[in-house]
Structure 1
């Protein structure tokens, strides 16, 4: 039971056993009902900090234990909701460093467009800074794995002789992702036009060619 909600399980639900393995519910409809409940409450103007598991369960028409069998707490639930409405993680072609990096940056561009067009994403991201636990959960389970994809792609390019290997891997990754992040976070009104990923990668790679 999540401490922050402080409630007890509904009488008709068995509480999760200590140490029991949590898993996805069999019904996709239950998961969607919970997601719809959260979205509906957010649309009504309920702040993230005031969304308790009890309130979400009541709105979705399920018991709290039904939610806890799928999610350990609000943070996990919110992160799964965000992932369900974001573009999927990219599948890297693996044919070259350029192809992999273009796929990664195109994924960042698509996420930037999704954030602009989705009221839900805009609402939740706007509140994340005031909700550190949610931001930490999102960063750990979503942002960091995507960042590792970029670092691995850069590292492979260096090992295969496609990129200079005398530079720090994280520095090179920042050079590549920086322009996209600038346009989606710091300058949210900047253009995210098709072909931007290719132009950024090609411009950066021009300075990353192995020295002869």
Structure 2
């Protein structure tokens, strides 16, 4: 499994979890996040994953984890952020090209590999308002990138002036996520999926 770069939603909010005077250890961070991936990939549910199990898998003490994450839920969400990687950057040449790039980024081999892990997290996100709030904090910057492309398209006249940006965002990202995680409709070809999805949406969204 490829090494991951951890991205902490809590750190981005200015919450430092390390003990005073003790610098963060990037290798320990990576080992902890990788341990979460390994446990979820082995079939354990998010409920079943414990801090103790993660610590044992990563070869660190529980205190090392708690210096970085206040609880298991925060650790799981940071794992999701690490799976998704850095935010994509639209080129800006055309709305169609940028949307295809964004949808393709959701369905690359990296995301397909971690789709099962995301599925394991969904029940915990659904039942916990706090987990859902934190998870939304991870996803919202990615929505904002696509939202920006749609708004730009309205401003340039490529898209309809009365376009419902939020609904269009859902129509683009929802099918991509479902096909990626569970191959919801096997009748939809995988080849050129992003192009076909974007073109289908643009038939109604284009100016």
Fold agreement, TM-score > 0.5: yes
- Contact (CA 8 Å) 2:119, 2:181: kept in 1 or not? no
Q: Structure 1: state its 5+ residue gaps.
A: 1-19
Larger radius of gyration: 1
> Could you say which residue in structure 2 is the equivalent of 1:163?
159
Mean CA deviation greater in 41-50 or 57-66: 41-50
Q: Which runs of 5+ in 2 are unaligned?
A: 1-14
Post-superposition offset of 1:95: 2.1
For 1:202, the equivalent position in structure 2 comes to: 199
State the alpha-carbon separation in 2 of the partners of residues 182 and 128 from structure 1.
12
Residue in 2 that maps onto 1:128: 122
Q: Report the CA distance shift for 1:75/1:158 in structure 2 as closer, same or farther (over 3 A).
A: same
1:141, CA displacement in angstroms?
Answer: 2.8
Separation in 1 of the partners of 2:190 and 2:42? Answer: 33
Aligned partner of 1:154 in structure 2 is: 150
Q: How do residues 13-92 of structure 1 correspond to structure 2 at under 5 angstroms?
A: 21-22=16-17, 26-42=24-40, 45-86=43-84, 88-92=86-90
Contact 1:91 1:103 in 2 (8 A): no
Q: CA deviation at 1:164?
A: 0.6
Scaled by the length of structure 2, the TM-score of the pair is 0.71
Deviations 1:6-48 (A, max 9, x none): xxxxxxxxxxxxxx83259532221122234334444555442
Per-residue deviation, residues 151-209 of structure 1 (Å, max 9, x unmatched): 22111110121111123221232343344245335743635634221222233323333
Count of aligned pairs: 188
Taking a change above 3 Å as real, the CA distance of residues 192 and 75 of structure 1, as seen in their structure-2 partners, is: farther
Q: What do residues 108-162 of structure 1 show as CA deviations (whole Å, max 9, x unaligned)?
A: 222xx545444xx414513531553385156313323222222221111101211
Instruction: Find the aligned partners of 2:172 and 2:37 in 1 and give their Cα distance.
Output: 34
TM-score by length of 1: 0.70
CA distance in 2, matches of 1:57, 1:40: 12
SS of 1:89 mapped into structure 2: coil
